[in-house]
Each structure stands twice: as C-alpha cells, then as structure tokens.
C-alpha cells in the first residue's frame, strides 16, 4: 500500500485532509475497493438496528417494585414532615399562648 | 413509522405517568424495555445490560416530571440508557461493579434464559463490536447502528465532535481488521 493510499485510509471523513482522500480515491482502484468494503460494513452495522432483544422479565417486575418502595418512602418522609411540621406548629401555638398569657398577666399586674 | 393513534395513546400514558400514575408508567416500561435492553446490551454487553436497563427506567421515572416532550419519548429513553450505561461502565472499570438490584434473596446474575434472544445471526459483527474499547463501541453503536449524528454522539458522551469523528473512524477500521482476520 503506498503512502497516498495509507493516508486516504486514515483520514476520517469531514476532517481536514478528507478532500485529499476524496481526490485520491477517485483515481485509485485499490482505495475504491476499500471504500466499497467500508460501505458493506456500514450496511451490516445499520442492519443491526432491526435486531431486537427481549428484556429479562424480571426487569419490569423489579422496576415497578422499586417504584413502589420509592413512593412509599417519599410518602412516609412527607407524612413525617407533616408530623414534625405539625408538632412544630403545635409547639409554636402553645408557646404563643403561654407568652400571650404571661404578657396579659403582666399587663393586668402593671395596669 | 408509528401509527398516529399509538402516538397519541403514548402521549396520554406519558402525561399520566408524569403526574405519578404508576400503572401508566408500567405500560410504558412494557413498551420500551426491550428497545432499551437491546441498546444496553450493545453498549455494555449482556451481563450488565439488565442492570443498566433497570437503572435507566428508574432514572426515567424520576426525571419524568421534567420531560417536556421536545424529543420523542423513545429517544429520551435511549439517551437515559446511554447515560446509565456509561455510569455502569465506569463503575465496572473501577472494579466496583455493584449490582444495581437491591434484593439479595434472589440470584441476580442473568442466567441464560434471561440473556435475551437474538432474532438474527450476525455473530461475527456483534463479537467484533464487543471487542472494541468502551469509547469506540459507544460511538460506533450510536452513530452506525442507531443513526445518531456526530453532534448528538458528542453531546451525549461529553466529547468534542472531532473526537467523536476520529473515534468513529478508528472504530470502523478496527472492526474491519477484526472481521478480515476472522474471515
Ligand atoms: Zn489508493
């Protein structure tokens, strides 16, 4: 294989130098044969697209089981926050009532 | 070409799943898991593909509220699969291949009955693809098998367009070398 053929084979398409490769290929039978083999490979690769594998049945089952657990955890943590939030609110209301009462008592004493 | 009725049916399912409807998501999983599993197998091989598919589906469920329908749902799932495959591959490369499946009471290793069934025989080419490096395999699978553009491949794999092109070229040369040696 001469240097021009080797260069042509190593230059990726659409990159600097590909114009040279194109010109060389148009006059070199060896490189044209190479290009034909390359096209055949690309056809074979594209044909793989139509192949379909069947996912193991446990994939669906496990995904749905994990979703169930995730949602349950999310629900628990949300309700946990509601409980915590509720007790914080109750504490705040209680504290406000105590302080309010104290303030009212203080006002009655001083008044 | 997907019939319009199926498309609108899918849109409804996606909408329902987005709002947290697990039954709708379950139906979407049935519809898309084989395609995702096929892509995962091409990217990481049959052993890691079930884990990658599961992880991708779980990521999809979590990301669904952000899915705005700019891309087709199947394209969106493919992207998530590529991401999950990449993560899993990196993990495996660090020798920390922790199964993504939490259940320990079951044998999680995919047995031959779950390894997936090929509907065609192109064993030589498939083996050649498997023998490529991770980076080369990802580029050749996405570009030449799935028909993504160089830009889409570059974006998804977080590499430049030039790197994607060079890697693709080398991967094709390597494939031909392997196939010619074998024949
Ligand atoms: Zn030549």
Q: Where are the beta strands (DSSP E) in chain A?
A: none
Structure tokens at A91: 């504490």
Give the residue numbers spanning the domain of B16: 1-95
Q: Could you tell me if B80 and B125 lie in one domain?
A: no
Q: Is the ipTM of this complex over 0.85?
A: no
**What is the Cα–Cα distance from B84 to B82, expressed in whole angstroms?**
6
| B61 interfacial to chain A (CB closer than 8 Å) | yes
**Inter-CA distances, A95 with A102, A104, A108, B149, Å:** 10, 14, 20, 64
Identify the pLDDT of residue B102.
34
Identify the pLDDT of residue B77.
96
Identify the pLDDT of residue B57.
97
Is residue B6 a part of any domain in this protein? yes
Question: Do the Cβ atoms of A49 and B165 come within 8 Å?
Answer: no
Distance B136 CA to ligand 1 centre (A): 26
Which residues from A are below 8 Å from B when comparing CB atoms? 9-15, 37-38, 41-42, 44-60, 62-64, 66-68, 70-71
Whether B3 shows a pLDDT value over 70: the answer reads no
| Domain termination residue (choose one: B95, B125, B158) | B95
B76-110 burial, b at 16+ Cβ within 10 Å, e below that, comes to bbbbbbbbbbbebbeebeeeeeeebbeeeeeeeeb
| Domain termination residue (choose one: B33, B65, B95) | B95
Residue in B with minimal Cα distance to A46:
B145
A8-23 pLDDT, tens digit each: 888 777 777 778 888 9
Identify the pLDDT of residue B99.
42
Nearest-CA distance B129 → chain A (Å)? 10
Per the CB < 8 A criterion, the answer to whether A58 and B111 are in contact is no
| B29 interfacial to chain A (CB closer than 8 Å) | yes
- H or E segment to which residue A46 belongs: helix A29-47
**What is the Cα–Cα distance from B174 to B21, expressed in whole angstroms?**
46
pLDDT > 70: percent of chain A = 60
| B146 interfacial to chain A (CB closer than 8 Å) | yes
Identify the pLDDT of residue B31.
96
B28 or B111, which is more confident: B28
A37-59 pLDDT, tens digit each: 999 999 999 999 998 999 999 99
Residue A53: phi and psi, rounded to 5, are: -95, 155
A33 or B104, which is more confident: A33
The count of domains in chain B is 2
**What is the Cα–Cα distance from B22 to A56, expressed in whole angstroms?**
20
Q: Could you tell me if B71 and B156 lie in one domain?
A: no
Mean pLDDT of B148-162: 93
For B76-130, the DSSP string reads HHHHHHHHHHHHHHHHHHTT----S----SS--S--GGGS---SS--HHHHHHHH
Distance B127 CA to ligand 1 centre (A): 29
**Inter-CA distances, B44 with A33, A56, B117, B152, Å:** 33, 16, 16, 19
Which residues in chain B touch residue A11, judged by CB atoms under 8 angstroms apart?
Answer: 169
Distance A15 CA to ligand 1 centre (A): 18
Is residue B101 a part of any domain in this protein? no
B37-74 pLDDT, tens digit each: 999 999 999 999 999 999 999 999 999 999 988 889 99
Per the CB < 8 A criterion, the answer to whether B23 and B56 are in contact is no
Whether B145 shows a pLDDT value over 60: the answer reads yes
Q: Could you tell me if B84 and B147 lie in one domain?
A: no
Q: Which CATH number belongs to the domain containing residue B177 in this structure?
A: 1.10.10.10
| B144 interfacial to chain A (CB closer than 8 Å) | yes
| Domain termination residue (choose one: B70, B95, B120) | B95
Is residue B129 a part of any domain in this protein? yes
Which residues in chain B touch residue A5, judged by CB atoms under 8 angstroms apart?
Answer: none
Residue in A with minimal Cα distance to B33:
A55
Identify the pLDDT of residue B129.
94
Q: Which CATH number belongs to the domain containing residue B81 in this structure?
A: 1.10.1740.10
């Amino acid at each position: 294989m001469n240097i021009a053929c080797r260069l042509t084979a190593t230059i990726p398409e659409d990159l600097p130098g590909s114009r040279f490769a194109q010109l060389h290929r148009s006059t070199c039978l060896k490189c044209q044969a190479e290009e034909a083999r390359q096209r055949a490979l690309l056809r074979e690769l594209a044909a793989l697209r139509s192949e379909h594998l069947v996912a193991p049945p446990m994939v669906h089952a496990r995904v749905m089981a994990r979703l169930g657990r995730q949602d349950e955890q999310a629900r628990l943590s949300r309700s946990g926050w509601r409980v915590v939030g509720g007790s914080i609110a109750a504490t705040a209301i209680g504290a406000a009532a105590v302080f309010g009462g104290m303030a009212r008592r203080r006002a009655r004493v001083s008044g | 070409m997907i019939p319009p009725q199926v498309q609108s049916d899918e849109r409804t399912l996606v909408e329902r799943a987005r709002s947290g409807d697990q039954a709708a998501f379950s139906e979407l999983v049935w519809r898309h898991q084989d395609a995702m599993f096929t892509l995962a197998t091409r990217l990481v091989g049959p052993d890691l593909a079930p884990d990658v598919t599961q992880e991708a589906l779980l990521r999809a469920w979590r990301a669904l509220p952000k899915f705005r329908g700019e891309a087709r749902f199947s394209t969106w799932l493919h992207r998530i699969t590529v991401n999950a495959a990449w993560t899993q591959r990196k993990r495996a490369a660090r020798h920390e291949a922790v199964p993504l499946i939490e259940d320990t009471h079951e044998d999680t290793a995919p047995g031959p009955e779950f390894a997936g069934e090929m509907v065609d025989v192109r064993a030589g080419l498939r083996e050649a693809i498997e023998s490529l490096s991770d980076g080369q395999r990802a580029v050749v699978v996405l570009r030449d098998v799935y028909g993504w553009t160089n830009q889409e491949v570059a974006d998804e794999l977080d590499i430049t367009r030039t790197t994607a092109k060079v890697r693709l070229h080398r991967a094709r040369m390597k494939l031909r070398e392997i196939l010619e040696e074998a024949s």
